[in-house]
Amino acid sequence: TSASLQFIKMDESQRVIGNYKRIYNKVKVKVLVIKETDFNVIATSQNLNSKEAENLKFD
């Protein structure tokens, strides 16, 4: 019936949205790790003092 088909479509949409959110969150975490790693590499390779490093971190 039409109602059953509608329910199946909604269930699949919920699954797709759930998968999207899960993947988005994993990517977001990886981006934060990469940014922090890049910051640490730049800060240590440039021999920056702690104030300069903090300023760079927020740019």
Number of structural domains the chain divides into: 1
For the CA atoms of the chain, what is the radius of gyration? 22
> Is residue 8's pLDDT more than 80?
no
- The answer to whether residue 2 sits within a structural domain is no
- The answer to whether residue 5 sits within a structural domain is no
Total-model pTM: 0.52
- The answer to whether residue 16 sits within a structural domain is no
Section 2-20 average pLDDT: 77
Of 56, 36, 37, the closest CA to residue 46 belongs to 56
- The answer to whether residue 13 sits within a structural domain is no
Domain that holds residue 34: 25-59
pLDDT at 2 (0 to 100): 66
- The answer to whether residue 38 sits within a structural domain is yes
- 12 pLDDT band, cuts 50/70/90, is confident
